Amino acid sequence: MKKTNAARLLDSLKIKYELREYEVDENDLSAESVAAKIGMPLDKVFKTLVVRGDKTGILMACIPSFGEINLKVLAAASGNKKVEMVPLKEVLPLTGYIRGGVSPIGAKKPYPVYIDESAFEHEWITISAGIRGCQLLIAPDDFKKAVNPMVVKELYHTVES
Going along the chain from its start, the domains and CATH numbers come out as 5-155 (3.90.960.10)
Q: What is the pLDDT of residue 91?
A: 96
Residue 1 pLDDT greater than 70, yes or no: no
Cβ 79 vs Cβ 150: under 8 Å: no
pLDDT digits 0-9 by tens, 77-135? 999 999 999 999 999 999 999 988 999 999 999 999 999 999 999 999 999 999 999 99
Q: How many CB atoms neighbour CB 28 within 10 A?
A: 10
Residue 9 pLDDT greater than 60, yes or no: yes
Cβ 60 vs Cβ 48: under 8 Å: yes
**Residue 139 belongs to what H/E stretch?**
none
Residue 160 pLDDT greater than 70, yes or no: no
pLDDT digits 0-9 by tens, 58-68? 999 999 999 99
Q: What angle do CA 85, 111, 72 make, to 5 degrees?
A: 40
Average pLDDT over residues 69-79: 97
Query: H/E/C letters for each residue in 24-76?
Result: CECCECCHHHHHHHHCCCHHHEEEEEEEEECCCEEEEEEEECCEEECHHHHHH
Provide DSSP, 70-123. Answer: -HHHHHHHHT-S-EEEPPHHHHHHHHS--TT---SSS-SS---EEEEGGGGGSS
Q: How many CB atoms neighbour CB 4 within 10 A?
A: 21
pLDDT digits 0-9 by tens, 15-29? 999 999 999 988 887
- More confidently predicted of 79 and 159: 79
